[in-house]
Chain A
Amino acid sequence: MTRYEADLERLATQLARMAADPTVASAATDPAAVDRARLALRQWCRTVLDDVAPAQHVQIAGRPGLADLAHRPISVLRALLGHDPHPFEPYSSLPETPLPGEYAANEHWQTLLGAAEVASHEWSSSDPVSRPSGEQAWATVADVAAIAEAGALLDRDLAAGHPDKRGAGWTRDGWEIAVAAGEVRQLAASGPLLSATPLRPAPHRLKPVSVRSIDTLAPALASLAAIVAGAKHLGPGTMGALAATHAQTVRTLAGALAATGPPAQGAVRKQLAASLNNHADMLVNVQVAGRPLQSLEPDDPRPALQMQEIRGGLRRIGDAGSVRIAFRQDQTSLLGALGAALAFAPAMSASAYAHIQSGRWLQPTRGERLGWEKVSPDAPIAEAAMLVQGQAHTLARQIPRPRPTGLRHRAPHELLPRPLLYRDRQRGPSPLLPHAPTFGDFQRGP
């Protein structure tokens, strides 16, 4: 191990200690130590990324979006790391009694500052020729991404623990850097993607349906089911992760169903919510069954992006309580979202069946040496997917249909005020005619 590697390990260990517990970093009260450590960490990330991956940088105009991240993850991360972190201001006036964990937290930040400065110094003083380049640079990019991601977690902890919420403004920075760094870490850890461009769909097709408010959840869930059904390839691990993440959405919706609606429907709704929670539990079984399986092909990224948008959208609306309040006002959206959520299991089951049939999912062989063979059609994952699909069909029949919204086409007779129609029917013969027309009038002709 080189001196730089040892210094980097010290930095990572200290960062890991702090990131492992959200209460550690946030108890700090020494703004100088906190800000110097955060700045040192940010500068180390920038310097190393610039040195090992200069060719990856493309200037991104404006605020980077999800499509930029899918196509130029390193550039997006570099752009987000481009500015210094917002300064940490712990308190308008310091309390007289020390806060619990304050000394330990300040010490943690001091140690992190020292470790980041030493690692930066070692890197800067190293011979540029000795630095990793080409294929070898990916491991360093993965390290930078992992450290940037952990640094972003600490920023979010500081913002969350801020007594007067002054830090809330830079929580967004933390989320953005964490998402971009996570993407880069995965990309870098999987090595160079030689044929990346042809494998990725066109940018417009990468764009998931946004969840801006509660009434956009149903279209996003419907899009998820459609994307999963049409996905080119999904590994068993990804399929399982999608199923388990979707289970969380189903659970949220079940909670909202039980807690809202007319009191007369309370018992029925609670029963239905219990069945939905059971559905969520069975979705987790798909993830469990997929754990030992592998696949060689790269995943279609669109289902994960759509799922990210759904979960992120729900998070933006708020905690489970806020989601329930939003649905209380809008039962049509809740019932619509439930119907759309139940379309996921059949889509997933069909996709799993197709993957198994085409021999693209592999299971470990039973032998001394680890080998892999095609998953058999009666494998536990196939059974789990089938069961959850059947359950979804049954549940879908029990969900009340949402009432038509104002967007539905309304016939003129529905729009015109009733008194007007009654008046016309009750009115006598038109004053322009001498008498009411009779059949005889028409038969006679002019």
Chain B
Amino acid sequence: MSIEIPTQPIPEHIAEACAWLSAAERYTDGPLEMRLPERLAAGDVLNVLLDVRPPYPPIDTSKPAVPLAEAAPAVVRALEQAIEAGGPPEQKLRAARALRQLREAMR
């Protein structure tokens, strides 16, 4: 029997950022000392973007897993667009917090 959970549609730019972050979080190749901090950082940023009520539907996990360094430019682009595009204040500021966290992690 299927259960209903209220969800809200995920905005286009946020969805794009989440898909790339998920790709980075799922990345399990490469040396552990390199990938672990990147996976942790990607997960943290993803948690910021997904911290909404009602929740978004499951995010796109179809992108192949890549290191965060490779996914980061696409995430930055998507989040910058999320800030500039129309949308509720909370959503813009959430995108800003996520972008800030990503920049700090990549420094």
Contact = CB atoms under 8 A, between A and B. Distances in A.
Contact of B100 (A147, A153, A364): A153
Contacts of B57: 364, 370
B36 A20 contact: no
A155 interface: no
B9 to A, nearest CB: 11
A291 B29 CA distance: 20
Contacts of A11: 89
A17 B33 CA distance: 32
Contacts of B92: 9, 12-13, 15-16
Contacts of B93: 12, 15-16, 19, 146-147, 149-150
A284 B50 contact: no
Contacts of B37: 251
Contact-residue size bin, chain B (C-beta under 8 Å from the other chain): 35 or more
Contacts of A248: 40
A277 B33 contact: yes
Interface in B6-49: 7, 22, 25-26, 28, 32-33, 35-37, 39-40, 43-44, 46-47
Contacts of A189: 52-53, 90
A147 B39 CA distance: 29
A371 interface: yes
Given A284-B36, A294-B55, A143 B89 contact: yes
A326 interface: no
Contacts of A367: 2
B96 interface: yes
B43 A244 contact: yes
Interface in A21-78: 21-22
Contact of B32 (A149, A185, A281): A281
Interface in B29-82: 32-33, 35-37, 39-40, 43-44, 46-47, 50-53, 55, 57-59, 61, 79-80
A8 B3 CA distance: 37
Contact of B58 (A9, A12, A186, A291): A291
Given A21-B100, A146-B93, A294-B55, 9 more contacts: A9-B92, A16-B96, A22-B103, A146-B94, A277-B33, A288-B26, A291-B61, A296-B3, A362-B5
Closest 5 A/B residue pairs (Cβ): A371-B2, A12-B89, A16-B96, A20-B99, A190-B53
